[in-house]
Structures are given as structure tokens and as C-alpha cells.
Amino acid sequence: MFPFHSLRSPSTAHSPLALWRFAALSLLLVAFVGCDSTRGGGSSGDDDDSSLGDDDVDPVSFRMWSTAFEDGDLLPEDYECYQSNPAILWEGVPEGTEALALIFDDPTAGNFPHWAIYNIPPSATGLDEGISGQGVTNSPPAGASELENGFTYDGYLGSCPCSPTPNTYRWRLWALSEELPDPGPGNASAQFNELADAAEDASIEELEMSHRYGPATLCR
């Protein structure tokens, strides 16, 4: 048999030149692997837009508006006096709301009572046009109640001033932490005031807008 010999010469296996070449190759290999890992070859959870949850979406602010008039502008004649109500809409009902209440009155005429509707379900997004008034069968949202207005009938009473210049009317909407009890006995003004006080006490958030109107057509 032939004796076994190493392929490397004992005198060159661990020479300084060989060690230097090995170290240089090792450094080149490490540099190559590092560059490859930073070129976007792998996926990262930070780059995945699908990782954004619902918490990253800003909540909608609580706001109210009408499709019939802009805040502070004139009310159309279609909704004056004995006509039915304009649409009143809202969004962004605050968390924890158990009911909503709406009061429409005339501060120009001593807070004359025009429409009060309360214990509106928190899931409601508004009041449709024509659901309340003298000439309609009132149909408020399920569970909601209306008070008698200043013309002694339940529901909506439109702006009906005979003054030569327009009156300014206000609409107040409350998000409530609890449902409101029915006001006690008294005239419409007293009941409106009692309801407004109860709404203030249970208020989570309150909104207000206005319109102007006058003189009414029946006064011209």
C-alpha cells in the first residue's frame, strides 16, 4: 500500500500569506451578504400598509346641518308657519350617547317655542323632511317624543314672524348620557325650558346652528 499524504504541504498550510487570503475572502463574503440584506430582498412588516388598523383613522367630529338652509342664512318659505319641517342631519355622535334631543326656538321673541323632539335613538343620523308639522301625521323616530309648540299643537312650528326685519332662530342638538324624562305640567315655554335644562345636565356634547326668517308670507 501507498502511504497517505496530506494535500497541503506542512510547510505552507498555515503560512502568513494563506491566512491573509482567507481573512480577505471572509471579509468580502460578509460585505456581500450585508449589502444583499439591505436591498429590499426580504419583506418587512413596517412596509406593509395592511398593518394599519382602524385606530389610525381619525373619528368624525360631531356636527349638524340642514339641506334646506346654510347656517345663519334665510329659511325657505316652504318651511314657515304651518308647513312641515326641513331635514336636519348630523354625524359623529359621541361615544357613550344614550339619546339625542333637538330644540328649535326663537331667541328674538323671548325663546318662543317652535319644536322640541327628544329621546331620539343614538343610531339616528337625522330627521327627515316632512316628519312633523300641523298638516302632516307626525312620524318621529321610534322611541322619540315631541312637545307642544307655542301655537298649541304637538311637533314642528315653522318660523312665522310679522316683524319687518328677519328674526334669528336657533337649533340646538344635544348628545345625552341618558334619556330625558317628560317635562312636568306647564305651558309650552315652561316645558321647553325644563327640557333644555335637563338636556344641559345630561349633555355629552351640544351643537348649535341658526337661520333667519321674516316677515312671514301671511303677514305681508
Residue 147 lies in a domain: yes
What is the value of pTM for the model shown? 0.75
Residue 135's pLDDT is 85
Q: Mind listing the pLDDT tens digit for each residue in 1-26?
A: 434 343 343 444 445 444 445 555 55
Residue 185 structural domain: 60-219
Question: What is the model's pLDDT at position 204?
Answer: 98
* Interval 150-169: pLDDT, tens: 999 999 999 999 999 999 99
Measure the N-to-C terminal CA separation of the chain; round to a whole number of Å.
133
Q: State the Cα–Cα distance between residues 118 and 100, nearest whole angstrom.
A: 6
List pLDDT tens digits, range 29-67.
444 444 444 444 444 444 444 444 555 667 899 999 999
Inside any domain, residue 164: yes
Neighbours of 139 (CB within 10 A): 12
pLDDT tens digit sequence for 58-103: 789 999 999 999 999 999 999 999 999 999 999 999 999 999 999 9
pLDDT given at position 9: 39
- What is the per-residue pLDDT for 59? 85
The helix/strand/coil state of 73 is coil
Looking at the domain assignment, is residue 47 inside a domain?
no
Give a yes or no: residue 8 inside a domain: no
Q: Mean pLDDT across the stretch 195-205? A: 98
User: What pLDDT digit, counting tens, does each position of 98-148 carry?
Assistant: 999 999 999 999 999 999 999 999 999 999 999 999 989 999 999 999 999
Does residue 22 lie in a domain region?
no
Q: Give the count of domains, the chain.
A: 1
Whether 205 is covered by a domain: the verdict is yes
* Rounded distance between C-alpha atoms, residue 170 and residue 212, angstroms: 9
The answer to whether the Cα torsion of 148, 149, 152, 156 is positive or negative is: negative
Q: Which amino acid is at 194?
A: E
104 falls within a domain:
yes
CATH number of the domain that residue 65 is part of: 3.90.280.10
Inside any domain, residue 120: yes
Q: Is 153 left (phi over 0), alpha (psi -120 to 50) or beta?
A: beta
